């Protein structure tokens, strides 16, 4: 049994719209056609993907599992079309990194490659997906968390990003004085769950105790920042993600004195054989200070 890209496109549209009608309208299809296609997809997969209700639909556990794969398949298909249609003779540099790091890293990548006559395409991917992409030559340059990687890759750490706790100015936790993790327990907390220190922090929050309804592990980190900006949550995330917000006063860093040491390290990754290519040299110079 094969799932078509059109099935995945319709599934994604309904999932993000929250209803068959709105999902159909976005694709300029009829609602009955979309409903029938999704019912057929559910039969083919042997699992219900949607919980249907009077106010729309929401994903089942199986639907939640399928959504990221649908998004990745569609993104890869769109990339394939872009590659075929790319301007002849103009090199394309395909960069892959997780969305958590994109706000702070992508501008640096574009600045570093600006002097080269290349087209730069950045896609969202976890470290293991970056490695697979480098191996099958669908990715040229990646950013990964350090770990054991194949000897055919060169992986060079260049950024250590501490995790901080933030809130919107005027939030009840913005007292101006020191706080402890137990002080966070009275308010909703959204947090990233990457890096050394994540599990220790979550254990401390649960022991505080933070109600299950008030603790929200969220990815990517930019979504945590968005929740903090609107004032509904305190946010625990990488400092680089909220650097501009802190500088502009849109968010304040909360002095949580017992926040465990927690940081994320990011590394530049490329195929070892590509070390002398112009894009790799430019990025190594900009990020690592290497000539």
pLDDT band at 111 (very low <50, low <70, confident <90, very high): very high
Token look-up 């949607």 returns 50
Give which of 137, 106, 131 is closest to 120, Cα–Cα: 106
Instruction: Identify whether 273 is part of a domain.
Output: yes
Residues 50 and 121 in one domain: no
Q: Which spans in the chain are helix H?
A: 5-17, 20-27, 31-45, 61-85, 102-113, 127-135, 198-207, 221-229, 239-248, 278-288
Q: What is the pLDDT of residues 209-266, one digit of tens each?
A: 777 678 888 877 888 999 999 999 999 988 888 989 999 999 999 999 988 888 888 9
Instruction: Identify whether 82 is part of a domain.
Output: no
pLDDT winner (highest mean) among 43-57, 168-182, 195-209: 168-182
Cα dihedral 171, 172, 177, 182 sign = negative
Q: What is the pLDDT of residues 119-172, one digit of tens each?
A: 898 988 888 889 989 998 889 999 998 888 999 999 999 988 888 999 999 999
Mean per-residue pLDDT, 18-46:
91
Residues 134 and 149 in one domain: yes
Whether the bond into 264 is cis, omega within 30 of 0: no
CATH code (residue 95):
3.40.190.10
Residues 168 and 255 in one domain: yes
Mean per-residue pLDDT, 33-41:
92
Residues 190 and 277 in one domain: no
Q: What is the pTM of this model?
A: 0.63
Count the domains in the chain.
3
Residues 33 and 14 in one domain: yes
Residue 8 DSSP class: H
Which helix or strand (DSSP H or E) is residue 255 part of? none
Write down the pLDDT at residue 166: 96
Residues 23 and 145 in one domain: no
- Residues 272/152, Cβ–Cβ less than 8 Å: yes
Residues 251 and 276 in one domain: no
Instruction: Identify whether 102 is part of a domain.
Output: yes
Distance of CA 271 to the CA centre of its chain: 23
248 to 103, 187, 223, 244, 256: CA distances (angstroms): 16, 24, 18, 6, 21
CB atoms within 10 A of CB 186: 13
Instruction: Identify whether 194 is part of a domain.
Output: yes
Instruction: Identify whether 78 is part of a domain.
Output: no
Report the distance separating Cα 190 and Cα 252, nearest Å: 15
Q: What is the pLDDT of residues 44-96, one digit of tens each?
A: 999 999 998 877 888 998 998 898 888 888 888 887 777 677 666 668 899 99
Residues 111 and 243 in one domain: no
Write down the pLDDT at residue 42: 94
The residue segments making up the domain with residue 34 are 5-73
């Amino acid at each position: 049994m094969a799932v078509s890209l059109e099935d995945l496109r319709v599934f994604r549209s309904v999932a993000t719209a929250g209803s068959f009608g709105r999902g159909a309208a976005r694709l300029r299809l009829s609602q009955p056609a979309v409903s029938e296609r999704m019912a057929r997809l559910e039969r083919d997969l042997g699992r219900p993907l949607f919980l249907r209700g009077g106010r729309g639909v929401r994903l089942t556990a199986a639907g939640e599992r399928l959504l990221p794969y649908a998004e990745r398949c569609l993104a890869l298909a769109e990339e394939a079309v872009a590659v075929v249609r790319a301007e002849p003779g103009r090199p394309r540099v395909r960069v892959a990194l997780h969305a958590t790091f994109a706000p702070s890293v992508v501008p640096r990548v574009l600045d570093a490659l600006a002097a080269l006559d290349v087209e730069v395409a950045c896609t969202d991917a976890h470290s293991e997906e970056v490695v697979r992409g480098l191996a099958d030559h669908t990715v040229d340059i990646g950013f990964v968390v350090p770990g054991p990687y194949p000897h055919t890759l060169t992986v060079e750490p260049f950024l250590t990003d501490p995790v901080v706790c933030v809130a919107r100015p005027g939030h009840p936790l913005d007292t101006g004085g020191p706080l402890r993790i137990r002080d966070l327990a009275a308010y909703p907390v959204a947090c990233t769950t990457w890096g050394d220190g994540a599990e220790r922090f979550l254990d401390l929050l649960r022991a505080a105790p933070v109600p299950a309804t008030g603790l929200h592990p969220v990815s990517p980190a930019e979504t945590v920042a968005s929740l903090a900006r609107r004032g509904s949550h305190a946010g625990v995330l990488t400092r680089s993600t909220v650097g501009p917000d802190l500088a502009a006063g849109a968010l304040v860093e909360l002095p949580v004195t017992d926040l465990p040491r927690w940081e994320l390290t990011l590394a530049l990754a490329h195929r070892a054989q590509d070390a002398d290519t112009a894009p790799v040299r430019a990025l190594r110079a900009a990020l690592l200070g290497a000539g």
